[in-house]
Structure 1
Amino acid sequence: MSARGPGATLPRVVAAEWTKLTSLRSTWWAALASVVVSGALTYLSADAASGDPGYDPLGELTAGLLLTQLGPLVLGVLAGTGEYSTGGFRTTFVAVPRRWPVLAAQAVAVAGFALLVAVASVVAAVLAILPAASSRDLPVNLTEGSTPWTLAGMVVFLTGAAVFGLAVGALVRRVVPALVTVIGLTLVLPVVLTLAVESSGTTFVEGVTPQERAVNTITTLLPSGAGGLLVTSSDASTVPGTPDLGAVGGGLVLAAWALVPLVAAGVRLRLKDVK
């Protein structure tokens, strides 16, 4: 059956991929983990910081974001590798011989589901700051200042993380290597680079060592660094030695991390046999 035929149009392939995605228990467990981690870490951070004299409850909204992204990352990886680990790709590619609509449909389905998970995770973060704010009789106005942009940035970041996980999963086609890759790039590598610089002890006349400058730049260009730019207000001070990309630049960097492996996965899918 051709992808051009009435039985395998792109909307139908998207609907099929959505059904497959939402019928898996792992999908819902990853979604639940994202929401729970977001709410729990934000609550703990807000509660711990509420004793500070200058406490701002809205400043704790992104406290759990770094670990919350693990849920969408895992969700994306499982979606990208699922059919290869179960052998279901044989049936799928018989129905859609051109193959690329399957990958495109997976990206649409994962992005759509991750968007819903991201919104739920952000809502959980907002609810988590309310007890600490109430204990100090502080108002929580989500429409003031840069807060709307921060909330939108959180949603974009978590959605982008899921598509990045899908892209790597579809390219690597194996769950463990794909998970190691995405977790290594988002969580492990920034820590390793920072520790390596701190152990060097090199000084620099302007207060920032050449190694720190390089590490700060690399970290900013990693997926988690780009996501951090999405939730940083425009008037916030930047880390010394880092490129001043802003929220738009951060979004473009995150998009590149998702699109490059996704395109590579599409090329591999078209040019090589699926095994």
Structure 2
Amino acid sequence: MTEQTVNHTLTVQDTLALPAFRNTAVRVLVGESQLDRPVRWVHVAESARAGQLLRGGELLLATGSGWGADAASRRALVRSFHDAGAAALVLEIGQYWSDVPQEVVAECRRTGLPLITTGSEIRFLDVSEQVHATLLGREIARVEAMREVAETFTAMIVDGAPPQQLILQAARLLGAAVVLEDPAHRVVYYAVGLELPSSLLDNWASRSARWSAAVGRVGMVAEPVALPDAAGWCVDVMARGTHWGRLIVLGDP
């Protein structure tokens, strides 16, 4: 498998770097520190009912033309965007509004919804096409990466690779330290990644016991469980229906 990092999450910051936003005088009025929010879809939010149609993660595009003239209604609309989990609100300035109404700015600040403006006209269709094409491309890359990983490990297992070699391969692909432990939190195999063995395994049994008490036995390969305090991720290892141990990846690969 080729060793390259594929970022499968499209963020608000990523969308602002797309060609559709070039030369549009983009300004972040609210939420500059939250531009890493993931974008799942693009939605045109010109209707007063737009907030009721959201499922979360949408990049909202609007001119405000359908929002009405009542300040309280505009506040309620922005609040509905936030409550529905929208990723960010992008307002085109110049075609309908010469400036963003203060109540819209205030409500975005109060709720924490990122508010972005463009000083020139943007084609909503171009934004939608580019965002959705990027999302589709990244999903294809994710599926391809999963296929390559599955083929790699299947071939290793068929060739009789020992567990230590599997752990080393996992650490190489993840770019992180990987530890295989038994149910008593004793280290069976490990690959250090970028960490020194002394820091990786220091007080391991007690650290692992605390993590185990917090997360229980629920981790699966398809759905790893996050460890407390962003320490890493874990999956349970089963053998003939019995809990055999746990595979732990440290850090955020």
Identify the TM-score tier after normalising by the shorter chain: under 0.3
Normalised by the length of structure 1, the TM-score is 0.23
Please identify which structure carries the higher helix content.
1
Q: What is the TM-score normalised by the length of structure 2?
A: 0.25
Select the structure of larger CA radius of gyration: 2
**Which structure: greater strand fraction?**
2
